[in-house]
Homo-oligomer: A and B are copies of this chain.
């Protein structure tokens, strides 16, 4: 069992090390992750420039590879031949913020799992914890790491359904206080972005996409509904965005 671990917060992020350590209890682990933070970077395939890869040593002495590409590039690199040994499963995370609702197309954590499915047809799991704003201090990833281990073991025992990857979100609670697991649907994020226009020291404007942190609708049966009530949410995702319900209507339009 050869497990690829990646993330979108950068190879030195504590969430990645927590995930790598727990995955090592299941199989051999290779790490290929971005040099820098690629949060909300989307599903990237870098084709206009070459990618560099460096060997780095993590805090506990673990050897890892970092690249100057996006999380999805790291997965593509690993699966297309950077690593000599074939990968069996890809786990991405642990992201220090939940990836729920519409986050899934922005999220580097989730799009890394997408890439594993597209490029490698591999079982892939994105793991995020609904962490608080800790003002830069590292979170406690131990409960989410235990959850990740349970999920991966279950995926290995049961087999991932065809064309599916898992988006796992964990409430920020001590492991024994987590109420259990819920299989959920993708919920609805409520973004509260606003534009913050500022003037630089040379008198020229620049713009931050700012505003308040997003919220979400804690509806029963959704990802956010589960984590907001203390459950791990397991959302099976797939890559077909077809709006099936609209096809009948659109076929009635006078197209020609």
User: A: which residues have CB within 8 A of B?
Assistant: 37, 39-48, 50-53, 70, 72-73, 76-77, 80-82, 102, 104-106, 111, 114, 118-119, 150, 154, 158, 161, 163-164, 180-181, 183, 185-186, 191, 193-195, 197-198, 204-209, 234-247, 249-251, 253-256
Cα distance A69–B250 when bound, in Å?
33
Kindly provide the distance from the CB of A184 to the nearest chain B CB, expressed in whole angstroms. Answer: 8
B53 touches A106 (CB 8 A): no
Q: Give, as a whole number of angstroms, the nearest-CB distance from A68 to chain B.
A: 10
Chain B nearest CB, measured from A170 CB (Å): 13
Further 5 A-B residue pairs, CB within 8 A, beyond A80-B195, A81-B197, A105-B239: A40-B44, A41-B42, A46-B209, A47-B208, A80-B194
14 interchain pairs (CB within 8 A)?
Answer: A37-B48, A42-B70, A52-B207, A53-B205, A76-B209, A77-B207, A81-B197, A105-B239, A119-B191, A180-B256, A181-B256, A183-B247, A183-B251, A234-B250
Contact in complex: B195, A82 (CB < 8 Å): yes
Question: In the docked arrangement, what's the CA distance between A81 and B193, Å?
Answer: 11
Complex-state Cα separation, A246 to B46, whole angstroms:
31
